[in-house]
Amino acid sequence: MTFAEQVVGVTRPRTRFTPLADRLIEAIGLVLAGRTGARLAGRMGLPAGRNTLLRRVRALPDPQIGAVMVLGVDDFARERYTAV
How confident is the model over 55-83, as pLDDT tens digits?
A: 999 999 998 888 877 766 665 566 666 65
Whether 56 is covered by a domain: the verdict is: yes
Domain containing residue 46: 19-81
DSSP 46-68: ----HHHHHHHHHHSPPPP----
Whether 75 is covered by a domain: the verdict is: yes
How many H-runs (helices) and E-runs (strands) does the chain carry? 4, 0
Whether 8 is covered by a domain: the verdict is: no
Whether 34 is covered by a domain: the verdict is: yes
- pTM (2 decimals)? 0.65
Residue 41's nearest CA partner among 18, 57, 25 is: 25
Q: How far is CA 29 from the centre of its chain?
A: 6
- Coil vs helix vs strand at 8: strand
Domain total in the chain: 1
